[in-house]
Amino acid sequence: MRKILLITSSPRGTESLSTRFATEIAHGLRAQGDTSLTVRDLVANPPPHITEDYIVGRAASPDSRTTQQNVAVELARELVDELCAADIIVLGSGMINFGPSSQLKA
Ligand SMILES: Cc1cc2nc3c(=O)[nH]c(=O)nc-3n(C[C@H](O)[C@H](O)[C@H](O)COP(=O)(O)O)c2cc1C
Protein backbone atom coordinates (compact mmCIF):
# COMPACT_ATOMS: atom_id res chain seq x y z
CA MET A 1 0.00 0.00 0.00
CA ARG A 2 1.29 3.47 -0.92
CA LYS A 3 1.23 6.06 1.83
CA ILE A 4 0.38 9.62 0.87
CA LEU A 5 1.17 12.46 3.25
CA LEU A 6 -0.69 15.71 2.51
CA ILE A 7 0.74 18.75 4.27
CA THR A 8 -1.21 22.01 4.15
CA SER A 9 0.04 25.30 5.51
CA SER A 10 -2.20 28.19 4.50
CA PRO A 11 -3.95 30.27 7.16
CA ARG A 12 -6.66 31.25 4.63
CA GLY A 13 -8.96 28.31 5.30
CA THR A 14 -11.43 27.56 2.53
CA GLU A 15 -10.11 30.54 0.52
CA SER A 16 -6.65 28.95 0.22
CA LEU A 17 -5.60 28.06 -3.31
CA SER A 18 -2.63 25.95 -2.22
CA THR A 19 -4.76 23.87 0.15
CA ARG A 20 -7.36 23.31 -2.55
CA PHE A 21 -4.77 22.43 -5.20
CA ALA A 22 -2.74 20.11 -2.93
CA THR A 23 -5.89 18.41 -1.64
CA GLU A 24 -7.11 17.75 -5.19
CA ILE A 25 -3.74 16.22 -6.10
CA ALA A 26 -3.69 14.02 -3.00
CA HIS A 27 -7.26 12.84 -3.50
CA GLY A 28 -6.51 12.14 -7.17
CA LEU A 29 -3.57 9.96 -6.17
CA ARG A 30 -5.65 8.19 -3.54
CA ALA A 31 -8.32 7.44 -6.15
CA GLN A 32 -5.75 5.33 -8.01
CA GLY A 33 -6.29 2.76 -5.28
CA ASP A 34 -4.34 0.85 -2.64
CA THR A 35 -3.30 4.02 -0.86
CA SER A 36 -3.68 5.58 2.55
CA LEU A 37 -3.89 9.32 3.09
CA THR A 38 -2.60 11.18 6.14
CA VAL A 39 -3.30 14.89 6.40
CA ARG A 40 -1.13 17.23 8.45
CA ASP A 41 -2.63 20.69 8.71
CA LEU A 42 0.15 22.98 9.92
CA VAL A 43 -2.30 25.77 10.75
CA ALA A 44 -4.68 23.66 12.84
CA ASN A 45 -1.67 22.08 14.60
CA PRO A 46 1.27 24.45 14.15
CA PRO A 47 4.69 23.05 14.95
CA PRO A 48 6.81 25.35 17.13
CA HIS A 49 9.79 27.13 15.70
CA ILE A 50 13.15 25.67 16.63
CA THR A 51 14.10 26.49 20.21
CA GLU A 52 17.23 26.17 22.30
CA ASP A 53 15.61 23.14 23.97
CA TYR A 54 15.57 21.39 20.60
CA ILE A 55 19.09 22.41 19.57
CA VAL A 56 20.68 21.41 22.88
CA GLY A 57 18.40 18.41 23.41
CA ARG A 58 19.08 16.77 20.06
CA ALA A 59 22.82 16.76 20.78
CA ALA A 60 22.39 15.47 24.35
CA SER A 61 22.07 11.83 25.34
CA PRO A 62 18.40 10.90 25.95
CA ASP A 63 18.90 10.26 29.67
CA SER A 64 20.44 13.70 30.27
CA ARG A 65 17.70 15.73 28.54
CA THR A 66 15.36 18.01 30.47
CA THR A 67 11.62 17.47 30.14
CA GLN A 68 11.35 20.45 27.73
CA GLN A 69 14.25 19.14 25.66
CA ASN A 70 12.59 15.72 25.49
CA VAL A 71 9.30 17.23 24.31
CA ALA A 72 11.06 19.25 21.58
CA VAL A 73 13.19 16.35 20.36
CA GLU A 74 10.33 13.85 20.42
CA LEU A 75 8.06 16.16 18.41
CA ALA A 76 10.80 16.61 15.79
CA ARG A 77 11.26 12.84 15.67
CA GLU A 78 7.52 12.28 15.22
CA LEU A 79 7.40 14.74 12.31
CA VAL A 80 10.49 13.29 10.62
CA ASP A 81 9.17 9.73 11.06
CA GLU A 82 5.90 10.81 9.44
CA LEU A 83 7.82 12.18 6.45
CA CYS A 84 10.02 9.11 6.15
CA ALA A 85 7.02 6.76 6.32
CA ALA A 86 5.37 8.43 3.33
CA ASP A 87 5.83 7.16 -0.22
CA ILE A 88 4.36 10.37 -1.65
CA ILE A 89 4.44 13.80 0.00
CA VAL A 90 2.10 16.50 -1.32
CA LEU A 91 3.03 19.95 0.00
CA GLY A 92 0.57 22.82 -0.08
CA SER A 93 2.06 26.28 0.36
CA GLY A 94 1.58 29.71 -1.07
CA MET A 95 4.63 31.72 -2.08
CA ILE A 96 5.06 34.12 0.84
CA ASN A 97 7.76 36.78 0.65
CA PHE A 98 9.67 34.82 -2.00
CA GLY A 99 9.62 31.55 -0.06
CA PRO A 100 7.37 28.91 1.48
CA SER A 101 4.94 29.85 4.25
CA SER A 102 6.41 30.21 7.74
CA GLN A 103 4.15 27.38 8.93
CA LEU A 104 5.79 25.04 6.44
CA LYS A 105 9.31 26.22 7.22
CA ALA A 106 8.72 25.62 10.95
C1 LIG B 1 2.16 38.40 3.01
C2 LIG B 1 2.10 37.82 1.62
C3 LIG B 1 3.26 37.68 0.89
C4 LIG B 1 3.23 37.14 -0.42
N5 LIG B 1 4.41 37.00 -1.11
C6 LIG B 1 4.36 36.50 -2.37
C7 LIG B 1 5.58 36.33 -3.12
O8 LIG B 1 6.67 36.62 -2.67
N9 LIG B 1 5.50 35.85 -4.39
C10 LIG B 1 4.28 35.51 -4.95
O11 LIG B 1 4.26 35.08 -6.12
N12 LIG B 1 3.13 35.62 -4.24
C13 LIG B 1 3.14 36.11 -2.99
N14 LIG B 1 1.97 36.24 -2.27
C15 LIG B 1 0.71 35.77 -2.87
C16 LIG B 1 0.37 34.36 -2.35
O17 LIG B 1 1.31 33.42 -2.82
C18 LIG B 1 -1.02 33.98 -2.83
O19 LIG B 1 -1.96 34.85 -2.23
C20 LIG B 1 -1.36 32.54 -2.52
O21 LIG B 1 -2.63 32.24 -3.07
C22 LIG B 1 -1.36 32.31 -1.01
O23 LIG B 1 -1.55 30.91 -0.78
P24 LIG B 1 -2.96 30.37 -0.25
O25 LIG B 1 -4.01 30.76 -1.27
O26 LIG B 1 -2.78 28.89 -0.18
O27 LIG B 1 -3.19 30.99 1.10
C28 LIG B 1 1.99 36.75 -0.98
C29 LIG B 1 0.82 36.88 -0.21
C30 LIG B 1 0.87 37.40 1.07
C31 LIG B 1 -0.41 37.52 1.89
Q: Is the CB of 77 under 6 A from ligand 1?
A: no
Per-residue pLDDT tens over the stretch 13-57: 999 999 999 999 999 999 999 999 999 999 999 999 999 999 999
Burial, 101: exposed, middle or buried (Cβ in 10 Å; 0-12, 13-18, 19+)? buried
Structural domain spans, the chain? 2-105
Residue 9 banded pLDDT, cuts 50, 70, 90: very high
Which CATH number is 2-105's, of 2.40.10.220, 2.60.40.1220, 3.30.360.10, 3.40.50.360? 3.40.50.360
In eight-state DSSP terms, residue 33 is S
How many angstroms separate the CA atoms of 19 and 37, rounded? Answer: 15
| C-alpha R_g of the chain | 16
pTM: 0.92
Question: Ligand 1 centre and the CA of 94: distance in Å?
Answer: 5
Bridge-based pairing of strands 2-8 and 88-92 is parallel
**In this predicted structure, what is the pLDDT of residue 66?**
98
